[in-house]
């Protein structure tokens, strides 16, 4: 049973470019959340997707957008990259069908460096 | 923005000693969870405590929750070098379903 998988593991971009990060949730999970973690900080909530729609959003600009596909996998897109977007991007999955299962399963993350 | 703050920011102990980390949060919560992160990679869920619970155990872990003080503590007993990691508390606020993480405690356990 595969856990949460993220790709790529590392990415280097320059300012102004656009990036797409990908996530496949744990088998049986239908909800995907994205987090940004700057060095030495805790993860910050970007948004959450369920049934192919953005259900909740954190305090991030519109440059950050996402998508969820019918197979529950998800993408995070960031446009017009800034130096401050350099961070570890974490995807987490959970099951909306099991109300008692509130814990998140995390992928290993994508380390994005913006030069 | 971070919901909670962990204290201390860093903790260094010897193997066999106990490690205690504290977490404070700001708003009413549905539950509070603790996660562990090795070397800045993915987080692993350790334990969840609900707002109507005061204490919970899982193996060498003991978590307490004081909703009147909006605080929680994580105790790791008989620590091992493999416990070296960053530990984060995270809260699920009443009415919301997202996890909001604290700032983390970096634990170093020396052999």
pLDDT digits (tens, 9 = 90+) for A53-110: 998 899 999 999 999 999 999 999 999 999 999 999 999 999 877 654 578 999 999 9
- The pLDDT assigned to A95 comes to 87
* CB proximity under 8 Å: A 55-94 to B: 55-56, 58-59, 88, 90, 92
- The pLDDT assigned to B94 comes to 67
- The pLDDT assigned to B111 comes to 92
**Chain A residues whose beta carbon lies within 8 Å of the beta carbon of residue B53:** none
**Chain A residues whose beta carbon lies within 8 Å of the beta carbon of residue B92:** 102
Span A34-60, average pLDDT: 93
Contacts of B62 by beta carbon, 8 Å cutoff, 6+ apart: B55, B56, B74, B75, B77
| Contact criterion met (CB < 8 Å) for B44 and A103 | no
B29 vs A15: CA distance, rounded Å: 39
Q: How many helices (H) and strands (E) does chain B have?
A: 0, 11
- The pLDDT assigned to A72 comes to 96
| Contact criterion met (CB < 8 Å) for A59 and B1 | yes
Per-residue pLDDT of chain B (111 residues; tens, 9 = 90+): 456 788 899 999 999 999 999 999 998 888 999 999 998 688 999 999 999 999 999 999 999 999 999 999 999 999 999 999 999 999 987 666 688 899 999 999 999
Q: Which residues pair with A50 in a beta bridge?
A: A31, A53
| Contact criterion met (CB < 8 Å) for A35 and B97 | no
- The pLDDT assigned to B28 comes to 87
**Chain A residues whose beta carbon lies within 8 Å of the beta carbon of residue B48:** 102-103
- The pLDDT assigned to B85 comes to 97
B103 vs B5: CA distance, rounded Å: 5
Span A26-34, average pLDDT: 93
Residue in A56, A59, A107 closest to B42 by CB: A107
- The pLDDT assigned to A99 comes to 58
- The pLDDT assigned to B23 comes to 95
Minimum distance, in Å, between the CA of residue A56 and any CA atom of chain B: 8
A33 vs A11: CA distance, rounded Å: 20
Residue A20 above 60 pLDDT? yes
| Contact criterion met (CB < 8 Å) for A4 and B104 | no
| Contact criterion met (CB < 8 Å) for A106 and B44 | yes
Residue in B40, B45, B102 closest to A104 by CB: B45
- The pLDDT assigned to B80 comes to 97
Tokens linked to B79: 């620590």
B67 vs B53: CA distance, rounded Å: 9
SS3 B81: helix
- The pLDDT assigned to A2 comes to 74
């Amino acid at each position: 049973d595969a856990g949460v998988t993220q790709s790529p593991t590392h990415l280097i971009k320059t300012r102004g470019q656009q990036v797409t990060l990908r996530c496949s949730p744990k088998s049986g999970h239908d909800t995907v959340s994205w987090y940004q973690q700057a060095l030495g900080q805790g993860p910050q909530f970007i948004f959450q997707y369920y049934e192919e729609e953005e259900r909740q959003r954190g305090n991030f600009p519109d440059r950050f957008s996402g998508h969820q596909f019918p197979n529950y996998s998800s993408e995070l897109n960031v446009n017009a990259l800034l130096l401050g977007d350099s961070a570890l991007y974490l995807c987490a999955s959970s099951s909306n069908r099991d109300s008692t299962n509130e814990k998140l399963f995390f992928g290993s993350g994508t380390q994005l460096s913006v030069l | 923005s971070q919901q909670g703050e962990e204290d201390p920011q860093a903790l260094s102990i010897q193997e066999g000693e106990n490690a205690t980390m504290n977490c404070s949060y700001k708003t009413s919560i549905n539950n509070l969870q603790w996660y562990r992160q090795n070397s800045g990679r993915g987080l692993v869920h350790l334990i969840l405590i609900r707002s109507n619970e005061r204490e919970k155990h899982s193996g060498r872990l003991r978590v307490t929750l004081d909703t009147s003080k909006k605080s929680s503590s994580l105790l790791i007993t008989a620590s091992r070098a493999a416990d070296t990691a960053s530990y984060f508390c995270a809260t699920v606020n009443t009415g919301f379903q997202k996890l909001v993480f604290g700032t983390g405690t970096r634990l170093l356990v020396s052999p």
